[in-house]
A and B are shown apart, each in its own frame.
Chain A
C-alpha cells in the first residue's frame, strides 16, 4: 500500500467532508420541501376543522379558536337534516358498490381467465368506455330516467352510475385475476368441475384483495359524486350528501362555522375508511394504473 503524503491525506479528508456537507444540505433541502408540501396539503383541512369549532364571532378575527364551540355541528345536523342525507348517500353507495362489484368480478374473471372469441376486442371496447366524460350521457340519462319515472329515486341514481363505473372496475378485476395461477383451474376441470364451479369455488375465494380494491374505489367515487346526484334528484329529502351540502351553501353563505361543520361531517366517513384502509386504497390504485 502506498504511503500517502500528509497533503494528500488532508486533501482527501476535505473532499470527504465536502461530500458529507453536500449530502447533508441535500437531505435538509429535501426534507424542507416535503414538509412545506405537507403544510400546503394540510392547511385547508386544518383551517376547516378549526373554523367548525369556532364561535361565530371569532371566525374572522382569530386563527385559533379561543373557545371550543360544538354547537355549529348540532345546528347543521338539525337544519340540514343531516342523518337523512347521510342515509341517502349510504343507500345509493351500497347499491352501486354491490352491483358494480358483482358484475365486475364476473366480467373481470371472464376477461382474465377464460378464452373466447372476440375477447380482446370486447375488452378494448369496454376500456374505451372509461374515457367517456359523464356529461355526454347526462341528458339522455335524464330523459331515460324521466321516462321510467326514476327521477327523484335513489335506485334510479344508482343505475345511472353503473355505465361509467364498470369499465375501471372490470379493468382492475381482470388484472387481478390474471395474477392467479392457472393450475388451479386445470386441476379443478380435471376433477370434473363445471366452469361455474371453477369460478365460484376456486377463484372467487381468492379474489378478496381485488374485490377490496374496487369496493374502496367505488365507495369513494359514488359517495363523492356530484353532477348526476344534483341533476337527477331534486326533492330535498332524497338528496345525497354532496348536492345537499351545495344547497346548504346558499343558506350558510356567510356562516362559515356552520358550513365547515357540514363539510367536516360529510368528509368524516370517508376519512375514517381511508385511515383504516389506506394501504388497500393506494395498492389498488397503483395496481390498476401501472398495469395499464
Chain B
C-alpha cells in the first residue's frame, strides 16, 4: 500500500504533464526547429526545396525592403515602448489618487483592449481616411484644414499614425497592470513622504517609480515583444504599404511567404529566415531588458 503510494507520487506529476509536453513539443518545438531548417532552403512551397545554406541570410543583408522593415520595426519599438510604458503609468497614478468614479473610468479605458487589433485597424482606417475621415473633416470644420494629411500615405505621419492605433488599443491593458502594481505599494511610505513635504511629482519620481521597477520591466518587455510581432492592424490598414513604406518584420515575412493579396512568388525559405531573425531579435532584446530591470533592487 505504502509502496504503490510512493510510486504514485513519483510518477503522477509527469503524467499530469504529458498533454502539455506533447503539445509543446509537437506544436512549438518541432515547428521552431523546422523554421530553422527551412531558413536554409529556397522553396516556393510546391516544387522541390533546394538547399542554399546561409544565402537567405546573406540576401537579407542586401535586401532594401528588409532594411526598411528593420528601420520601421525599430521606429515602432521606440514609439510604442515610450508611449505604451509611460502614459498608462500616469493614467494609473491618476486613477489611484482617488478620483470619484475610478472604477467606471477603468472599465471604459479597458474597453478597446477587448476589441481585436484587426477590427481596430479597420475602424481607424475609416477615421484616418483623407477625404471623409473624421480627423480631417473635423480639422477642416474648425478651420485647421491645413493640418489635414494623408495620414496613412504621407511619409512622416505613416508610422506614427499606425502607432497611435496600437497605443489607443492597449492603453487600458497596461494601465490595469500598473494599477495593480500601485495597489501593492504600502500606504505608509506615501504618507511618510507627504509628511516630509514631498509634492506629488517628487513622490512619483522618488518613491512610486522605483518601487514599481519590476512591473515597469514587465511592461517594457511586453511592449518590446509586441512591437516586433505587431501585424494585424498594419496588415489591415496598409499591408505594409504604400510601396513598402510601412513594412515591418512581421508584414514583410507574411508578404514574402504568401504574397500581398495572393501574388504568386512565395519564398518560404526566405520568409523563414526572416522568422529566425524575428526570434533572435525578440530573445536578445528580452534578455537584455530583463537583466537591466534586475540591476539595483530597491530597498526600503
Contacts and interface: CB of A to CB of B under 8 A. Distances in A.
B35 A45 contact: no
B249 A135 contact: yes
Contact of B35 (A106, A107, A139, A166): A139
Nearest to B91: A37
Contacts of A60: 132, 137
A38 B132 CA distance: 24
A136 interface: yes
B14 A38 contact: no
A103 B20 contact: yes
Interface in A1-54: 26-27, 30-31, 33-34, 37-38, 40-42, 44-45, 47-48, 51
Interface stretch (A68-76, A77-85, A205-213, A223-231): A223-231
Contact of A34 (B17, B34, B95, B231): B95
Given A38-B105, A270-B114, A115 B126 contact: no
A119 interface: yes
Contact of B94 (A30, A135, A231, A267): A30
A184 interface: no
B225 interface: yes
Contacts of B117: 224, 226
Interface in A85-102: 102
A282 B122 contact: no
Interface in A251-266: 256, 259-260, 263, 266
B110 interface: yes
Interface in B154-191: 168, 171-173, 176-177, 179-181, 184
Contacts of B225: 131, 133
Interface in A114-152: 114-116, 119, 122, 126, 129, 131-144
Contacts of A227: 231-232, 235, 254
Nearest to A229: B118
| Chain A contact patch, size range | 35 or more
A282 B176 contact: yes
Nearest to B17: A110
A136 B94 contact: no
Given A126-B20, A224-B116, A226-B118, A131 B28 contact: no
B26 to A, nearest CB: 8
B123 A140 contact: no
B108 A245 contact: no
A26 to B, nearest CB: 8
A283 B8 CA distance: 35
A181 interface: no
B149 interface: no
Interface string B92-113: 0011010110000111111110
B31 interface: yes
Contacts of A48: 123
A238 interface: no
B10 to A, nearest CB: 7
Contacts of B10: 116
A285 interface: yes
B77 interface: no
A162 interface: yes
Contacts of B114: 220, 224, 270-271, 274, 281
26 contacts: A33-B94, A34-B99, A44-B112, A107-B16, A116-B13, A122-B17, A131-B283, A135-B229, A136-B279, A137-B28, A141-B31, A143-B34, A144-B31, A159-B27, A160-B27, A163-B23, A163-B24, A226-B231, A242-B116, A242-B119, A246-B122, A259-B126, A278-B107, A282-B110, A289-B180, A290-B177
Interface of A: 26-27, 30-31, 33-34, 37-38, 40-42, 44-45, 47-48, 51, 59-60, 102-104, 106-107, 109-110, 114-116, 119, 122, 126, 129, 131-144, 159-160, 162-164, 166, 170, 189, 194-196, 199, 220, 223-227, 231, 242, 245-246, 249, 256, 259-260, 263, 266-267, 270-271, 274, 278, 281-282, 285-286, 289-290, 292
Given A143-B38, A292-B218, 8 more contacts: A30-B97, A38-B108, A40-B168, A45-B112, A133-B229, A135-B274, A140-B38, A163-B24
Interface of B: 5, 8-10, 12-14, 16-17, 19-20, 23-24, 27-28, 30-32, 34-35, 38, 45, 91, 94-95, 97, 99-100, 105-112, 114-119, 122-127, 132, 134, 137, 168, 171-173, 176-177, 179-181, 184, 200, 215, 218, 221, 225, 228-229, 231-232, 235-236, 249-250, 253-254, 257-258, 268, 271-272, 274-276, 278-279, 282-283, 286
6 tightest A-B contacts by CB? A224-B116, A133-B229, A286-B180, A163-B27, A140-B31, A140-B34
